[in-house]
């Protein structure tokens, strides 16, 4: 079940976007083993690290896009068969004012705040649902070795509210498949939250980062609070 992502922001002011992404630490939270140690990771394990610790513990490796096709990630599935696919579930969950839902999950009305560019949206048709860590980036960073089922789960990850985000089509297409070394949200007040979410997703899915990405994450984090990130490992 997807947890609503409205807690990432309120519509009142852009300054309020600089929120912690850390949830309350579960009783079974544990420190994540350092990257490269070969220590055990287990799907379902809850881990808590500070932002800087999480960055440092990501494995640094070269990226490789060989063989990538977007269709390698089956996305926008309707896993619970309720008539709304993963894309529509995100749009509904992130509405600040809920839209009306018609047949075949047609959405009318509603209000959203596109966090990437701090734009208020009143038409669901103007929204894209972005994979915060893009599919191509995931492929480059380890997903090329996953099973088709794992890639489908990644592409429709409603169990992690930071993974998918409803934003304006313009901001999503500006970002494309870029990592934080190449693109940051135009809404400056949201950038630290974006960084936290990027690192959380890479940690959750045990994805690597390249050297340029590592340097950019470190540089950006220097200007952000070193807050705790709690993640449930997916693999």
Give the pLDDT band (50/70/90) at residue 41.
confident
pLDDT for 141: 98
pTM, two decimals, is 0.86
- Structural domain total, the chain: 1
- Position 23 scores a pLDDT of 31
Query: What's the burial of 103, exposed, middle or buried (CB within 10 Å: 0-12/13-18/19+)?
Result: exposed
Residue 1 forms part of a structural domain = no
What domain range is 60 assigned to? 6-232
- Per the CB < 8 A criterion, the answer to whether 117 and 167 are in contact is yes
Residue 202 belongs to a domain: yes
Please, which pLDDT band fits residue 48 given cuts at 50, 70 and 90?
very high
Q: How far is CA 46 from CA 30, 71, 115, in A?
A: 6, 30, 27
Angle at 18 between CA 128 and CA 176, to 5 degrees: 30
The CA distance from 192 to 221, in Å, is 7
The greatest distance separating any two alpha carbons of the chain, rounded to the nearest whole angstrom, comes to 51
24 in any annotated domain: yes
């Amino acid at each position: 079940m997807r947890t609503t992502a409205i807690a990432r922001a309120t519509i009142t002011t852009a300054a309020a976007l600089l929120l912690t992404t850390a949830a309350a630490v579960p009783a079974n939270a544990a420190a994540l083993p350092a990257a490269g140690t070969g220590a055990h990771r287990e799907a379902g394990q809850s881990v808590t690290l500070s932002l800087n610790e999480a960055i440092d513990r990501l494995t640094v490796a070269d990226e490789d896009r060989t063989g990538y096709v977007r269709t390698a990630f089956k996305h926008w599935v309707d896993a619970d068969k309720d008539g709304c696919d993963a894309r529509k579930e995100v749009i509904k969950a992130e509405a600040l004012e809920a839209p009306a839902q018609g047949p075949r999950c047609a959405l009318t009305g509603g209000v959203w705040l596109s966090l990437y560019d701090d734009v208020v949206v009143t038409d669901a048709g103007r929204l894209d649902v972005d994979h915060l860590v893009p599919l191509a980036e995931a492929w480059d960073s380890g997903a090329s070795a996953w099973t088709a089922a794992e890639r489908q789960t990644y592409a429709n990850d409603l169990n992690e509210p930071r993974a998918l985000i409803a934003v304006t089509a313009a901001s999503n297409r500006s970002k494309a498949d870029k990592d934080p070394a190449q693109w940051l949200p135009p809404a400056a007040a949201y950038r630290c939250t974006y960084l936290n979410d990027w690192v959380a997703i890479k940690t959750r899915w045990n994805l690597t980062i390249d050297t340029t990405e590592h340097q950019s994450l470190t540089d950006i984090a220097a200007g952000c609070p070193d807050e705790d990130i709690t993640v449930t490992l997916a693999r």
